[in-house]
Structure 1
Amino acid sequence: MSTQSDATGTRHATFPFPQDDPCLPPPEYARLRADEPVTQVVLPTGDRAWLVTRHADVLTVLGDERFSRRALTGPDAPKLAPIPPMPSLFYLDPPDHTRIRRLAARAFDPARLARLRPRVDRVVAAHLDRLAAADQPADLLATVARPLPLAVVATVLGVPEDEYEPFAGWIRTAFSFGAVPPDEQMAAMGGLQQYLAALVGSRRKEPAEDALSDLVAPTGDDQLADHELVALVFDLIGAGDQPVTAEIVHLVLNLLRDPARLPALHAEPELVPGAVEELLRHSQSAGGGLGSVRIAVADVELSGVTIPAGDPVIPSFNAANFDESVFPDADRIDLARRPNPHLTFAQGIHHCLGAPVGRMELTALLGGLARDFPSLRLAVPEDQLQWLPVPAFRTPGAIPVHW
Structure 2
Amino acid sequence: MTTTAEPLAYPFNDDEGLDLDPAYAKLRQTEGMIRVRLPFGEPAWLATRYEDARFVLGDRRFGREMAASKDEPRTYPARRPAGILGMDPPDHTRLRKLVATAFTVRRVEALRPRVAEITAELVEAMLAAGSPVDLVEEFALPLPVQVICELLGVPVEDRVRFRVWSDAALSTSSLTDDEQMRAHLELSEYMAGLVAQRTADPREDLMSALIAAREADTDRLTVEELVMLCNAVLIAGHETTATQIPNFVHVLLAAGRFTELGEHPERIPGAVEELLRFIPLGAGSAFPRYASEDVEVGGQLVRAGEPVLVAIGSANRDATRFPDAESLHFDRPQNSHMGFGHGAHHCLGAPLARMELQEALRALTSRMPGLRLAGEPEWKTAMLVRGPRTMPVTW
The TM-score, its normalising length taken from structure 2, stands at 0.91
Partner of 2:272: 276
Partner of 2:320: 325
Answer whether contact 2:249 2:258 (CA < 8 A) is retained. no
Count of residues in correspondence between the two structures: 391
Partner of 1:310: 305
State the Cα distance separating 1:358 from its structure 2 match.
Answer: 1.0
Answer whether contact 1:139 1:401 (CA < 8 A) is retained. yes
Alignment of 1:350 with 2:342, yes or no, is no
State the Cα distance separating 1:216 from its structure 2 match.
Answer: 2.1
Match of 1:134 among 129, 146, 159: 129
> Matched residues in 1 for 2:72 and 2:162: separation?
32
Answer whether contact 2:14 2:283 (CA < 8 A) is retained. no
Q: What's the CA shift string for 1:291-348, capped at 9, x where partnerless?
A: x411112111111110111111111110110011111000001112121000010011
Alignment of 1:390 with 2:382, yes or no, is yes
Structure 1: gaps (5+ residues): 1-7
> Matched residues in 2 for 1:270 and 1:10: separation?
50
Alignment of 1:246 with 2:238, yes or no, is no
State the Cα distance separating 1:98 from its structure 2 match.
Answer: 1.6
- Change in CA separation of 1:9 and 1:262 when aligned onto 2, cut-off 3 Å: closer
Runs of 4 or more above 6 Å deviation: none
- Change in CA separation of 1:166 and 1:182 when aligned onto 2, cut-off 3 Å: same
SS at match of 1:374: coil
> Matched residues in 1 for 2:342 and 2:4: separation?
36
Partner of 1:143: 138
Alignment of 1:106 with 2:101, yes or no, is yes
Q: What's the CA shift string for 1:23-42, capped at 9, x where partnerless?
A: 22111111111114511112
Match of 1:365 among 343, 360, 363: 360
Answer whether contact 2:7 2:37 (CA < 8 A) is retained. yes
Partner of 2:149: 154
State the Cα distance separating 1:350 from its structure 2 match.
Answer: 0.4
Structure 2: gaps (5+ residues): none
> Matched residues in 2 for 1:372 and 1:389: separation?
31
Partner of 1:69: 64
Q: Which has the higher contact order (CA 8 A, sep 6+)?
A: 2
State the Cα distance separating 1:262 from its structure 2 match.
Answer: 2.4
- Change in CA separation of 1:118 and 1:205 when aligned onto 2, cut-off 3 Å: farther
Amino acid at match of 1:313: V
State the Cα distance separating 1:154 from its structure 2 match.
Answer: 1.4
Q: What's the CA shift string for 1:117-159, capped at 9, x where partnerless?
A: 3333333333323332333222212222233333332122111
Alignment of 1:189 with 2:184, yes or no, is yes
- Change in CA separation of 1:176 and 1:120 when aligned onto 2, cut-off 3 Å: farther
Answer whether contact 1:317 1:343 (CA < 8 A) is retained. yes
Partner of 2:7: 12
Partner of 1:265: 261
Alignment of 1:256 with 2:253, yes or no, is yes
State the Cα distance separating 1:80 from its structure 2 match.
Answer: 4.6
Amino acid at match of 1:273: P
- Change in CA separation of 1:221 and 1:10 when aligned onto 2, cut-off 3 Å: closer
State the Cα distance separating 1:271 from its structure 2 match.
Answer: 1.3
SS at match of 1:50: strand
The worse-fitting range, judged by mean Cα deviation, of 315-324 and 74-83 is: 74-83
Partner of 2:87: 92
Alignment of 1:59 with 2:54, yes or no, is yes
- Change in CA separation of 1:316 and 1:310 when aligned onto 2, cut-off 3 Å: same
Amino acid at match of 1:208: R
> Matched residues in 1 for 2:200 and 2:8: separation?
54
Answer whether contact 2:15 2:283 (CA < 8 A) is retained. no
Sequence identity percentage? 40
Match of 1:399 among 384, 391, 394: 391
State the Cα distance separating 1:222 from its structure 2 match.
Answer: 4.8
Answer whether contact 1:37 1:303 (CA < 8 A) is retained. yes
Answer whether contact 1:59 1:347 (CA < 8 A) is retained. yes
State the Cα distance separating 1:284 from its structure 2 match.
Answer: 1.8
Amino acid at match of 1:254: V
Amino acid at match of 1:84: R
SS at match of 1:65: coil
Partner of 2:76: 81
- In angstroms, what is the RMSD of aligned CA positions? 2.4
The TM-score, its normalising length taken from structure 1, stands at 0.89
State the Cα distance separating 1:175 from its structure 2 match.
Answer: 4.3
SS at match of 1:360: helix
SS at match of 2:255: coil
- Change in CA separation of 1:346 and 1:20 when aligned onto 2, cut-off 3 Å: closer
SS at match of 1:236: helix
State the Cα distance separating 1:191 from its structure 2 match.
Answer: 1.5
> Matched residues in 2 for 1:377 and 1:37: separation?
43
Amino acid at match of 2:234: I
SS at match of 1:314: strand
> Matched residues in 2 for 1:94 and 1:390: separation?
31
Alignment of 1:208 with 2:208, yes or no, is no
Answer whether contact 1:116 1:210 (CA < 8 A) is retained. no
SS at match of 2:386: coil
